[in-house]
Amino acid sequence: MKCPFCGGTETRVKDSRDIGDAIHRRRECEHCKGRFSTYERVEKFHLMVVKRDQRREPFDRQKLYVGLRKACEKRPLPAGEIEKAVEEIEQELYRFGRQEISSDIIGEQVMERLRHMDKIAYIRFASVYRSFDDVEKMFEEIQTLLNPEKPNTESLNQLSLAEQPEPLPSDDF
Ligand SMILES: [Zn+2]
């Protein structure tokens, strides 16, 4: 926080008051002893999506829902599953804490959810979302989905014998 009088960066908070929608602070500059006020407010922001051609548009949860529903059409998914995925993706996007987010990141979030929800929906979405350059990578992914490697239970057992892993810390979300 720069002093508005001398530009000094060392300031001291003399008083701090909650005034409803903000915190009002009286500050004093350590250099020139000038006093000034600051207001701290919750930042309200609307998430903007940066498209591949650099155009911006406001994040549209409905659009996300429609995209997911299309990918999941006629798939045996429990009721409310798509809504839940939309909810989770939206929360994740806000958690990045950025005001702008690329459509690629949103696409990756959707793919990540669909991968666990329904393999066919995942492939459908990926084939639309991914550019043609990625076809080779796409093919590799489909192969992995069709021929999942068997988990190596032997090495897992060895690991648990050699070293007891500590329990994972619970998330605070
Ligand atoms: Zn000053």
Average pLDDT over residues 57-69: 91
46 backbone dihedrals φ, ψ, rounded to 5° = -105, 130
Tokens 């002093």: give the residue.
3
CA distance 139 to 59: 30
Distance from the CA of 15 to the center of ligand 1, in angstroms? 17
Q: How far away, in angstroms, is 12 Cα from ligand 1 center?
A: 11
Q: What is the pLDDT of residues 4-50, one digit of tens each?
A: 999 999 999 999 999 887 889 999 999 999 999 998 877 666 889 99
Q: What is the structure's pLDDT at 9?
A: 93
- This prediction has a pTM of 0.53
Q: Report the pLDDT value the prediction gives residue 173, as an integer from 0 to 100.
A: 40
Find the mean pLDDT for residues 108-127.
Answer: 89
Q: Separation of 38 CA from ligand 1 center, angstroms?
A: 14
How far, in Å, from the CA of 17 to the mean position of ligand 1? Answer: 22
- Residues within 5 A (CB) of ion ligand 1: 3, 5-6, 8, 29, 31-32, 34
Mean pLDDT over residues 53-58, rounded? 91
The confidence band for 132, taking pLDDT boundaries of 50, 70 and 90, is very low
Using the mean position of ligand 1's atoms as its centre, give its distance from the Cα of residue 32 in Å: 4
pLDDT value of position 98: 86
Report CA-CA distances (Å) from 16 to 12, 13, 22, 23. Answer: 11, 7, 10, 7
pLDDT of residue 164: 47
Q: What separation in Å is there between the alpha carbon of 84 and the centre of ligand 1?
A: 52
Does residue 94 carry a pLDDT above 90? Answer: no
Confidence class of residue 96 from pLDDT cuts 50, 70 and 90? confident
